[in-house]
């Protein structure tokens, strides 16, 4: 039972990370995607404003539903296995004392020792799954697998803020078929369309206020301010 409890904790960490990646692929910012995944899985910290970001999108609703179901199932399993692990007759130390130790360990002491083992193991798992290099590598592997299997489609356009008159701040991915592909910002024609590029996201790097001579590459994400219709037509549509 103790082994099942540990496996459940490990799986829970992985599921939350997969959920965060899935949320990010639907257009949520990474820190918000992580929070939303943890909120859905644990059933806590889900505010009204943030819930609207999920409920307003079909893919996000699907991801949230899966995380909520898995989170409830995981909680039941963890509680059941933890309770069973603390039964003196079922603890690992009790089994070892019966088979290998020359003396019998008192039942009350077995429970406390086993609880200490659980705390140490859980803390060890927590440290591993919060280690920056390990988490980054695991996230990259999971993201590649999710994208390769096309479990969730990455959105090419995200409206971050709507303003009056059809203007707003938008985040849009550049494909090889985009009219601005392989052009510098100065020659992209964005300024003529009253579109201002606030930042460029290239891989894990965010370049604020990019220079006019910077070339736009496929996979870049441009965070722009302007008329949303112009941004869609100028950046996302094929020439």
- The string of DSSP codes covering 19-75 is HHHHHHHTT--HHHHHHHHHHHHHT-S--HHHHHHHHTSHHHHHHHHHHHHHHHHHH
| End-to-end Cα spacing for the chain | 60
Residues making up the chain, counted from first to last: 239
pTM: 0.57
pLDDT for the residue numbered 101: 43
CA 221 to chain centre: 18
CA 62 to chain centre: 14
CATH number (3.30.70.1450, 3.40.30.10, 3.40.50.620, 3.40.920.10) of 157-236 reads: 3.30.70.1450
Which candidate, 155, 206, 173, 201, places its Cα nearest to that of 27? 155
CA distance 44 to 37: 10
Which candidate, 113, 80, 77, places its Cα nearest to that of 95? 113
pLDDT for the residue numbered 97: 47
CA distance 171 to 145: 24
Mean pLDDT split into 10-residue runs, the chain, 239 residues: 79 91 78 85 68 71 87 82 63 48 56 78 88 88 77 55 64 81 90 89 86 88 84 65
């Amino acid at each position: 039972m103790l082994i099942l409890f540990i496996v459940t904790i490990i799986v829970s960490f992985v599921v939350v990370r997969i959920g965060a990646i899935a949320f990010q692929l639907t257009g949520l910012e990474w820190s918000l995607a992580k929070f939303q995944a943890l909120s859905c899985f644990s059933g806590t910290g889900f505010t009204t404003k943030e819930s609207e970001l999920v409920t307003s999108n079909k893919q996000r609703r699907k991801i949230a539903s899966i995380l909520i179901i898995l989170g409830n199932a995981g909680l039941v399993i963890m509680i059941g296995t933890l309770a069973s692990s603390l039964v003196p007759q079922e603890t690992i130390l009790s089994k070892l004392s019966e088979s290998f130790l020359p003396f019998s360990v008192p039942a009350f002491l077995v429970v406390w020792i086993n609880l200490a083992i659980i705390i140490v193991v859980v803390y060890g798992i927590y440290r591993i799954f919060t280690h920056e290099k390990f988490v980054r590598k695991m996230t990259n592997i999971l993201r590649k697998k999710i994208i390769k299997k096309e479990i969730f489609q990455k959105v090419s356009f995200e409206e971050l803020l709507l303003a009056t008159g059809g203007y707003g701040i938008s985040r849009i991915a550049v494909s090889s078929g985009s009219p601005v592909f392989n052009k510098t910002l100065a020659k992209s024609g964005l300024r003529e369309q009253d579109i201002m590029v606030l930042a460029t996201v290239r891989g894990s790097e965010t370049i604020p206020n990019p220079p006019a001579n910077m070339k736009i590459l496929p996979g870049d994400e441009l965070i722009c301010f302007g008329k949303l219709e112009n941004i869609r037509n100028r950046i996302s549509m094929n020439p």
